[in-house]
Structure 1
Amino acid sequence: MGWQKEQSVLIGRLVELDRLTAVLDSAAGELAGVALVGGDAGIGKTRLVTELGERARAAGFAVLVGQCAELGDALPYLPLADALRGARGELRAALDARPVLGRLLPESADLGSETTSGLTQQQLFGSMLGFLAAQPVLLILEDLHWADQSTRDLLVFLSRMLQTERVCLVGTYRTDDLHRRHPLRRVLAELKRLPSVTAVELSPLDRGEMADYLAALGGNDAQMISEVLDRAEGNPFYAEELLEAATEGSAMTDGLAGLLLSRAELLSDAAQQVLRGAAVAGRRVDHDLLREASGLEELAFEEAMREIVSRGLLRPSGEYGYAFRHALLQEAVYTDLLPGERIRMHSAFAGLLTARKGAAAELAYHYLAGHDLAEALSASAEAGRRAERLGAPAEAHRHFEQALGLWDRVPEAERLAGTDRVRLVLRTAAAAADMGDNHRAIAQLREIPPSAEASERLAYYLYDSDDVPAAIVAAEAAVAAAPPGTPVLARALATLSRALSWGVRQPEARLLADRALEVARATGASDAEKGAMIVLGSCAEFEGDLARAEELFGAAAVRDSGDLAMDLRAIFQHARIQFERGSMTAAAVAADRGVLLATETGLSWSTYGTDLRFLQFLIHYMAGEWNQARETAAGFGTRVGKTPEAVLSSFALFVEVAMGMPVVEERLTWLRPFWSDSLVAYMSRGLAAEHALWRQEPEPALEHATAVLDATDPADVGNVRISAVALWALADLGRSDGADELLARARRAARPRMGFEGHAWLARAEAEWHRVHGRADVEAWRAVVEGFGAGSVYETARARWRLAEALLVSGDRTSALEEWERAVEAAESLGARPLGAALAELGRRARFTSSQAGPLTSREQEVLALVSEGLPNREIGERLFIAQKTVSVHVSNILGKLGVSSRTQAAAVARREGLL
């Protein structure tokens, strides 16, 4: 009788379970979290996460569990596919709405198109992020030490991108399998630095816990338990096996592997034969496949299986058929096979899987292990193509390289692979580029004889690697080698024009792009056509013809190239040029279209998907549509762990600083480690300076602005804005030292074709320079108002604040009041509290009257009524159920709007003008 008892109570892991439950509770509160559970084989990782799964179900979470296997390095996204099978209800609907994810399921016949744009993995990752947001989810990925690279990449992506979703992601791995160069080690080190990740290491149980564990399993002989405790070394699985052996009267052999094999050796010869076949198949095996591989008749096979299952070596496993009770058992049986026996069994499985049209990656694995190199080459090439279409470039590259490695060892390799060697190298290089390794792609292309297509791809990857001179040489070779009137020539011309478009040979780029456009349209190369149009738009922009640039980008944006990356790039360029020209409404339409396309195709986190969201946010921000801007920024997240995330997070500061939101300090804390990145520093430190200035802290503001300027190329146009902010700080400090140099820096960085906003910031720098020197220059500030009036509601209101000040100093009180009222109206509509407070202070100093100040809000009227009764802020807060600090803010706003300096004066004005 086999060991069949199940432990019902978790023993010795309550501290670890509490830590995992805390991550789950955080996810329930809309703060996603990740937990990594490590420990030796058999230490209890699965038992722990199973208990967590029960708690999650009780809390209303959907629980998805995916299992990696030793074949995982060959089969892309195996644990994800395993987990997705468990999707039910809302999750199933969310899965059905995302075809890229549905392709992972074994029943799916849709593997996507043969040709890919290189964005399939990004689509899959984005789709997975959207899928997990459908409802509260606990996603468990077990045995990550066997995970393929694409699964590891997905784990990193989700760990970084999950923010406010109700998702708890848990991964388990064996610490004793992580040798020094194991690929998971780097991933774990990277993830454990993230604030959203909780690391849990399971140590051996102590002697008391182990005794309780054995008692729960039915052990009741004190001497036997003591002997098991001495040998098990705190490992629950080992203890269970030792107790089973002792209960059955078997000898307790020295090692765990020997112990496991000694139990297997108690089986009949037929059952041992079946068990060995199961070990070759992997941890899980299909019933019919195992029966055919065993060579036994149906009744004999069933009798053998009943014997194996009764001893607890295999267990029924739903749709899989059978699974080893523990991975260590499968490993022990497999390792014990003789070499010839192993080769024969792998060959048998390969043949059976071929007849069943099994997974190409699994076929390649068995054919290689069975030393059938010809079939291994064929299966490897097909596995690469399938991985490519599933969005697993690392696995596609691995399989293609494996096929190339077998090429010279197999007759008729071209027929077996279904392609010639050059085209296989091109696909291998494309997979390398898609997995982010352009250097490997370049090296592989340089190993084959040059051709037009190979040279064009080489030029493309060189350009993306910032080696523009080499890209030009390769592109010129591609143009020279391309047959006339072919799509290859169109792409070569488009790539060469792109490489030349921003350098000293820019005039040539226009001619080449025109020629590329002509050939592309004649040959139907829609991707080259769109690429050429984008280059022509860039050339027009470089030459200062922004209207023509907008026209060309717009024409490119409405054409479908069949390449999502190219389509998103064109839409982004069209929206960007409209934005920079001040056409906010048109830019918003274009950006929204691009964001929708990126979202629908799962590409929100691709390069241009992210750029479009940046742009969408800025458009809403500049147009004064701050509710929409905040909705967009909500997806940026504060808990950043990587530079692209820090860039996104920095953008959110534009609205948060302007609204005086409490999250600013938290966001800046997370961003501080990334200030070595120029773009992050420009945005976050520049806005940190503005935040400090609103808090009347000009000294740290000047430090932030100066630090950004010191680390930035003097020719960078961003210096215009930062110099203006630094001059603002100097003016507030009452200092003029360095002001002339700051203005000079702004002027040096300015460009004639930098867009309306750049020119407005230059005017702002000029006006702040006058303020530093004690001059309230009305015309300088009027120029700022006019400059920002082309497209920025908030900056126009800020400029009106300073213009109103200057007008007051000049004695033009009527005009000052008009500018002040317009600024107050804008600040209130935006919710720009710091600006509103500054305007209120100006109103108090100027003694503007209530009729001039505009109406009080309903809450301000309630506060004013209680102020008129003579109540202090504390009592007002108690009456209205608001904080005392909030009351203070309302009172300050009321005083500003009424143009008075005391509560008594406010009450008098309120009674006189009937405001009560």
Structure 2
Amino acid sequence: MPLLERAAFLASLAQHAAEARAGDGRLVLVSGEAGVGKTALVEQLEAELPDAEWAWSACDGLFTPRPLGPLFDLAERLGGELRAAAAGGADRDALFATLLRQLSAAAGHLRVVVVEDVHWADEATLDLLRYVGRRLRGLPVLLVATFRDDGLAPDHPLRVVLGFLATQRTTRRLALPPLSEAAVDSLAAASPVAPDELFRLTGGNPFFVTEVLAAGGGALPVSAREAVLARVARLDAGARRLVEYAALAGARIDPPLLERLVPDAAAGLEAGLAGGVLTADEAGLRFRHEISRLAVADAVPAHRRGRMHADLLEALHEIGSEDDARLAHHAEGAGNAIAVVVHAPRAARKAAALASHREAVAQYERALRFATHLDPAAQAALWDGLGYETSLVDRWADSAAARQAALPLWRWVGDRTREGDSLRALSRALYRLCRGAEAEEAAQEALVVLSAQSPAGPELAWAHANLAVQQMLHRRLDSSIVLARQGQQLAERLGDATILSDALNSEACATAFSRREWRPTMLRALEVAVEADREEQAGRAYANLHGLSCAERRYGDADRWFTEGVAYCDDHDVATFGTCLRGERTNWLDQRGRWDEAVALSTALLADPVISPVNRINPLISLGRIRARRGEAEAAADLDEAARLADGTGEPDWIAQARLARAEAAWLTDQPQAAADELARVAEVADRCDPWVRGAVAVWRSRLGRAGEPAAGLPEPRALELAGDPQGAAAAWRAVGCPYEAGLALAGSDDEAALREALAVFDELGALVPARRTRRLMRRRGLTGVPVGPRAATRQHRLGLTRREQEVLALVAAGLPNGDISRRLFISQRTVDHHVSALLTKMGVASRTAAAREAERLGLLDA
């Protein structure tokens, strides 16, 4: 079928290929519904670029995918160092680096790498796309990834990766629409099929159109599936049987496998090609489309399907297949429980080794569905494997359930070491679920159980380190430090870098909460983890470096650790701590007055359906605070959920932060008693919190007309507020970089100039509610010339830019650096930095140059 209505898309692809050939690599994401012609478009580009070196690969949706299947396909196509690394069992990071190095060696020669059907990609393959996509700049490489965007679930991992890749300068998107009615009319011109009926039936889907037209005249099939089956029905019995086996076996045809199942397989394959059911490409034979394969596979009667899966399993064993994911799939299809529990755990371990943790979860779940015949110890080991892998993909409720399923089995067989280790892991899962008291109880029980075992092994070291975390979180700091050091001693004796880093990390946190120097210990925890390639522990170290720096108002340090930490977590697929970092970042953005960014990030985090409860707390508090200040009704629900989760953890800091946010929201809405009630809850834990929290309690009590805490020992901004020096407090808040707090301090002054300055701060931030309170106060005091709020024109700006952001955008578009903008507008350079960051977020662009282009396109500069 000719490629109709695809000239513009083909031209775009050709342009991106030319850019890549010139050394400016491109990642092109080609999306569209199944059958819309994504592969046909890329094949046409291949025909028009005969001098380029092409390497095709694909993700298979038949079974839980083989981790990094496309990369191993590419290894076969590209050969060389990559093939050797893949055959030699190199780890994931080494394979990624080798692929990039081999692609980089093609100076002056265009290489096109195609990865099809990435909606089926395993976790490691998605990480590969992210890894290569970030590093294409300067390479003569065109990377094309095709995927279906119809029916892509909101929580699909691909959505997260697409969001990340969209921010890269090298990324381009092509979304293929169905054919128009006119194009379908053109295709149907030589057919007896009525064009309007053809369009109604197919919706303009090119594959469906082709299949219906291939069915010939007469009655139209009710679906493209029936059109596919009509092709198959025209084959002889032997060819039909071969096609059915091939459909159940996977998207790619494996002739040696089929030869063991069907007599004269070669003739059957030729018939499939001649009949239009199969097609050939450089990689061999395949179904014309996945829709074709699924139609054939689904049409196999259930009573035959199990027997055919059994035949495929036996044939794979005969040819020596070591693809455990494939073997486990056919074992499950055949109902062969023994084979499932052999191959599925192996497939899980292989997937985990390549950081495809979601695939590992699926394989453990598959094994457990067939594990009832296993002895209790074997079943418990599978539950523990599932518990660990679900923890790595932030499925903490499932992790806790798996550990709870393993515990009685370990007790039944009398394995106290495994029982204690499961208790320790259960403690961690319960913490993530905001079940703090239960988490601490499980941690203590684990230590008791494991302390009675001899000799002391890594399980006991972990039990010390884990209980140290629980004690630290609940601010039993001396106990935490003792436990952490005991864990370190055992870890060093055992040579276990993971436990050593974890225990050092907990000691550093406890030391910080004791208001002593903590950085050297935390930096050592990071160093140990990075040097030993312990990604999860490195992620935890980065998260705590960032979080503790934020707590101490060391915002420059926090910014550095966030940037480094997020890059590390994203590159190494450390999802839990990547989310922790981003959650704490919302608090950083809130405190720094970058509210639009804080709202955007908080909303994105909370939209993730698998985010653990404990990781929801920070974005809920940040979002609720900002919404309360802006007068948005959703604030109450955000802060209610934050308080419920924080109370569940039992952690003083989170309880204090959530309740302080609710106290502020009540004060803003003139509910002093409700605010006082929230402060009373904070007072219950304040003595275990840092001086910033205690200072906040004292200041809020003062604002409510209650007696405040003496200023001794409190941070300077809080101490100055309590001492009755609002201007001094505001200056101190500005010095640490907290504009809203500076505005609140000024709003408590009796001085007219201070009140006007507070009002300017609130208007600049968009803090509508405190701005209204301040205007009301100024009018009650008889002050004249009280400025009105932001003009309606500003509020209704098409991109939501404030007046000041529009001024900054104009100067950015004129090419002025932030220092010159600062001098031109008589504002600090730090404020300019905030405005530039905010307008980039609102405009949805990644750079100043892109902002200038977008502003010109939208006519914003003329306005």
Question: TM-score surpassing 0.5?
Answer: yes
Matched, 1:8 2:12: no
1:814 alignment partner in structure 2: none
| Cα offset, 1:405, TM superposition | 2.4
Cross-structure match for 1:642: 604
Pairing partner for 1:439 from 397, 418, 422: 397
How far 1:316 moved relative to its partner?
0.5
- 1:331-410 aligned within 5 A: 331-339=294-302, 341-354=304-317, 355-409=319-373
Q: Which residue of 1 aligns with 2:468?
A: 497
| C-alpha displacement of 1:492 | 1.0
Shift of 1:243: 3.4
Structure 1 residue 741 displacement after superposition: 4.6
Distance 1:67 1:501 in 2: 48
Give the whole-Å Cα distance in 1 for the aligned partners of 2:479 and 2:2: 76
Name the SS of the counterpart of 2:3 in structure 1.
coil
Alignment equivalent of 2:720, drawn from 763, 788, 791: 763
Q: 1:784 to 1:9 in 2, by over 3 A?
A: closer
Q: Aligned pair 1:142/2:147, yes or no? A: yes
SS of alignment partner, residue 246 of structure 1: coil
Deviation at residue 394 of structure 1 after TM alignment: 3.0
- The CA distance in 1 between the partners of 2:692 and 2:209, in whole Å, is 70
Of 147, 154, 167, the residue aligned with 1:163 is 167
Residues 1:287 and 2:255 aligned together: yes
Query: Where does residue 387 of structure 2 map in the other structure?
Result: 429
Aligned 8 A contact 1:527 1:562 in 2: no
Between the two proteins, the alignment pairs up a number of residues equal to 665
User: Structure 1 residues 605, 264: closer, same or farther in 2, change over 3 A?
Assistant: same
Counterparts in 2 of 1:614 and 1:87: CA distance versus 1, 3 Å: farther
> How far, CA to CA, are the matches of 1:124 and 1:745 in structure 2?
59
In the alignment, does 2:260 pair up with 1:304?
A: no
Pairwise CA distance, 1:267: 2.7
Measured against aligned partners, the alpha-carbon deviations of 1:116-160 in whole angstroms (never above 9, x if no partner) come to xxxx9998766643422334877544346798999x213234336
- Paired AA for residue 159 in structure 2: L
Deviation at 1:467, TM superposition (A): 1.3
Structure 1 residues 293 and 788, CA gap change in structure 2 (3 angstroms): same
1:627-646 CA-partner distances (Å, limit 9, x unpaired): xx99xx99999688514699
- For 1:386 and 1:888, locate their aligned partners in 2 and report how far apart those are by CA, in whole Å: 55
Change (3 A) 1:171 1:443: farther
> How far off its partner does 1:466 sit?
1.9
Structure-1 separation of matches of 2:58 and 2:123: 23
Q: Could you list the per-position Cα deviations for residues 225-276 of structure 1 after superposition, in whole angstroms to 9, with x for gaps in the alignment?
A: 57974995656545534433437xx986676555443433333444333323
Counterpart amino acid of residue 393 in structure 1? H
Report the Cα offset of residue 76 of structure 1: 5.5
Q: Whole-Å Cα distance in 1 between the matches of residues 438 and 642 of structure 2?
A: 32
Deviations 1:785-836 (A, max 9, x none): 68977x779999999x99xxx9x99xxxxxxxxxxxxxxxxxxxxxxxxxxx
Q: 2:282 and 2:549 mapped to 1: Cα distance?
A: 57
Secondary structure of the corresponding residue to residue 286 of structure 2:
strand
Task: Output one character per residue of 1:761-796: Cα deviation in whole Å (capped at 9) or x when no partner.
Answer: 542675664xxxxxxxxxx73x8768977x779999
- Cα RMSD over matched residues? 6.5
Q: Distance in 2 between matches of 1:104 and 1:882?
A: 38
Instruction: Tell me, in whole angstroms, the C-alpha distance in 1 between the residues paired with 2:404 and 2:553.
Output: 46
Corresponding position: 1:324 with 2:282? no
SS at match of 2:528: coil
Give the residue type in structure 2 aligned to 1:742: R
CA contact (8 A) 2:26 2:136 kept: no
C-alpha distance in 1 between matches for 2:304 and 2:642: 62
Aligned pair partner of 2:210 in 216, 237, 240? 240
Structure 1 residues 509 and 225: alpha-carbon distance in aligned structure 2, compared to 1, 3 A threshold: closer
- 1:636 and 1:160 map into 2 onto residues whose CA distance is 17
Shift of residue 428 of structure 1? 0.8
Instruction: Give the letter for the 2:461 counterpart.
Output: A
CA contact (8 A) 1:73 1:147 kept: no
Distance 1:562 1:678, change over 3 A: farther
Could you tell me how far apart the structure 2 residues matched to 1:888 and 1:148 are? 44
Cα-to-partner distance string for 1:283-329 (whole Å, 9 max, x where unaligned): 32133333343332xxxx4443333212211100322x212123343
Task: Spell out the pairing of 1:332-731 with structure 2 (5 A cutoff).
Answer: 332-339=295-302, 341-354=304-317, 355-409=319-373, 420-448=378-406, 449=408, 450=411, 451-482=419-450, 483-484=453-454, 485-503=456-474, 505-544=476-515, 546-547=516-517, 549-560=518-529, 563-570=534-541, 573=544, 597-598=568-569, 601=572, 606-607=577-578, 610=581, 614=585, 641-643=603-605, 677=638, 706=668, 714=679, 715=682
Alignment partners' CA distance in 2, 1:367 and 1:440: 25
Does the aligned pair in 2 maintain the 1:344–1:370 contact within 8 Å?
yes
- 1:225·1:243 contact (CA, 8 Å) conserved in 2? no
Answer whether contact 2:124 2:356 (CA < 8 A) is retained.
Answer: no
The corresponding residue for 2:36 is 45
Look up the SS of the partner of 2:280 in the other structure: strand
CA offset digits 1:608-640 (Å, max 9, x no partner): 78369959999xx99xxxxxx99xx99999688
State the Cα deviation string for residues 53-95 of structure 1 (Å, max 9, x = none).
969999xx99998755441545567689879999999x99xx9
> What is the aligned partner in structure 1 of residue 777 from structure 2?
none
Identify if the C-alpha distance between structure 1 residues 708 and 105 changes in structure 2 by more than 3 Å, giving closer, same or farther.
farther
Contact 2:555 2:588 in 1 (8 A): no
Contact 2:30 2:147 in 1 (8 A): no
Tell me the SS of whatever aligns to 1:323. Answer: strand
Partner of 2:134: 133
Q: Give distance in 2, aligned partners of 1:590 and 1:210.
A: 56
**Partners of 1:720 and 1:492 in 2: CA distance:** 32
SS in 2 for 1:142: strand
Output the CA distance in 1 between the equivalents of 2:327 and 2:27. 38
Distance in 1, matches of 2:494 and 2:441, equals: 25
Shift of 1:50: 2.9
Q: Trace 1:116-265 onto structure 2 (pairs within 5 A).
A: 128-135=129-136, 140-143=145-148, 152-159=156-163, 162-163=166-167, 165-168=169-172, 206=181, 209-215=183-189, 218-219=190-191, 223=192, 229=198, 232=201, 237-246=207-216, 256-265=224-233
SS at match of 1:343: helix
- Can you give the 5+ residue segments of structure 1 that lack an aligned partner in the other structure? 1-5, 109-119, 173-199, 623-628, 655-664, 683-701, 728-738, 770-779, 810-876, 895-916
For residue 100 of structure 1, report the CA deviation from its aligned partner: 3.6
Contact map agreement 1:445 1:458 (CA 8 A) in 2: yes
Contact 2:32 2:149 in 1 (8 A): no
- Distance in 2 separating the partners of 1:464 and 1:784: 37
Aligned-residue identity in percent:
16
Question: What TM-score do you get using the length of structure 1 for normalisation?
Answer: 0.56
**Distance in 1, Cα, partners of 2:369 & 2:821:** 75
What is the CA-CA distance between 1:473 and the residue it aligns to? 1.8
Distance 1:798 1:562, change over 3 A: same
Does the CA-based 8 Å contact 2:29-2:146 persist in structure 1?
A: no
1:884-903 aligned within 5 A: none
- Say whether residues 1:742 and 2:699 are aligned partners: no
